[in-house]
Amino acid sequence: MNESVKTVPHHDALIYAMVTMSAVDRTMTDREMKKIGNIVQNLPIFSDYDQERLVAAAEDCGRLVQGEDGLQAVLNVIASSLPPKLYETAYAVAVEVAAADLHVEQEELRFLQLLRDRLNLQKLIAAAIERGARARHTII
Structural domains in the chain, CATH included, are 10-137 (1.10.3680)
pLDDT at 31 > cutoff 90 = no
Q: Which residues contact 111 (CB under 8 A, 6 or more apart)?
A: 20, 21, 24, 71, 94
**Nearest 10 degrees: Cα torsion 58, 84, 103, 134:** -140
Question: Does the reported pTM lie above 0.85?
Answer: yes
pLDDT at position 3 over 60: no
Enter the DSSP assignment of 121: -
Statement: residue 36 has pLDDT above 60: yes
Do 88 and 15 touch, CB atoms closer than 8 A? no
> CA quadruple 111, 115, 117, 122: dihedral positive or negative?
negative
pLDDT tens track for 114-139 = 999 999 999 999 999 999 998 888 88
Instruction: Say if residue 27's pLDDT is above 90.
Output: no
The confidence band for 1, taking pLDDT boundaries of 50, 70 and 90, is very low
Q: Could you read off the pLDDT of 44-87 as tens digits, one per residue?
A: 999 999 999 999 999 999 899 888 888 999 999 999 999 999 99
Dist CA 86 CA 72 (whole Å): 19
* Res 136: pLDDT: 87
